[in-house]
Amino acid sequence: MIVVKNLTKSFGTHYALRGINLEIPTGTFLSIFGPNGAGKTTFIRILSTLSRPSTGEIYFDDKNLRDHAESFRQRIGVIGHSTFLYDELTAFENLQFYAKLYSLPDARKRIQQALEEVGLLARADDFVRTFSRGMQQRLSIARAMLHQPDILLLDEPFTGLDQHASSMLKHWLSELKSEKRTILLVTHDLTHGLELADQVAIFVRGKVAYFESADHVDETEFQAHYHKVVAAGGAA
C-alpha cells in the first residue's frame, strides 16, 4: 500500500505540487492524467526518490520513504522519458551494469531472459546507439524489469513509440497488471490509460482534481469530464 500525505513540492515561489493525498492499494494500476505542468512528473520523481518533497510524507507498507529510500529503490522500476541506457555499451552490457547495481544473483540468466521477453535477445551484443527509439524503449523496459520490481512508475512510456512498439508495451503492461504489481502510469493518452487502469486520477495545478475507480468510468464521459476539470483549473 502506498500512502501519500499532504505532499507539496515547490521550486522557489512556484508550487509544482500543492497538497497531494492518495492511497494506492498494493496491486493497483493507477493512471494519472493531467495537462502539462500539472505536477505529474514531479509526483513520479518524488515517489522514485529522485526528488525530495518540500513537505508531506510518503509511506510504503507503513514505512516512511524518507527513512527507507535505498531499500525502496530495490523494489521499484522506473520507465521515463529517457531510457537510462548508455549508447556506447551493448544491450547486454547495459543490463549487466544495472544487474551489478541491483546485486542480482544469476545475472547472466536473468539478463538473457529479460532480453528475450522484449524480443532483443538476437541484438544483445549490438550497441544501443544502433537501436531505433522503439527498440531502446523495449530495452528500457527490460532494464526496469530486470530486478522484478513490485512497484512500477511509468512516466509517458508511450512517447515516441511506433504502433508496433506501442501495442507491445500495452500488452506487456496488461501482463504485469495480471501479476498484481502496483503500477502508476502517467500519460496524456486517455485511451491507453483508461483501458489498463483500476483507478484513475486527474492532476491539475499540483492537486488531485479527480480520483475514481476505473470501473465507474466511461471513456466518453471521462474525456468530457477531463476537459471540464482542466478548463476549470481543477475546481470542477
Residues that bind other proteins (CB under 8 A): 45, 48-52, 70-71, 73-74, 76, 78, 80-89, 93, 97-98, 100-103, 127, 143
Report whether 193 contacts 223 (CB < 8 A): no
Of 59 and 127, CB closest to other proteins: 127
Of 78 and 209, CB closest to other proteins: 78
- Distance in Å, CB of 78 to other proteins, minimum: 5
| Per-residue H/E/C for 63-118 | EECCCCHHHHHCCEEEECCCCCCCCCCEHHHHHHHHHHHCCCCCHHHHHHHHHHHC
CA-wise closest residue to 43 among 71, 83, 78, 13: 78
CA-wise closest residue to 68 among 57, 78, 77, 79: 57
Q: Which amino acid does the sequence have at 89? A: L
Of 105 and 216, CB closest to other proteins: 105
- Distance in Å, CB of 7 to other proteins, minimum: 14
- Distance in Å, CB of 89 to other proteins, minimum: 7
Of 87 and 116, CB closest to other proteins: 87
* Angle, helix 91-101 to helix 133-145, in steps of 10 degrees: 30
Of 85 and 186, CB closest to other proteins: 85
Please state, in angstroms and as integers, the Cα–Cα distance from residue 199 to each residue in 52, 94, 234, following that order.
Answer: 25, 34, 18
Strand ranges across the sheet with 151-155: 76-79, 151-155, 182-186, 29-33, 199-204, 207-213
- Distance in Å, CB of 41 to other proteins, minimum: 12
- Distance in Å, CB of 227 to other proteins, minimum: 31
Of 120 and 229, CB closest to other proteins: 120
- Distance in Å, CB of 13 to other proteins, minimum: 16
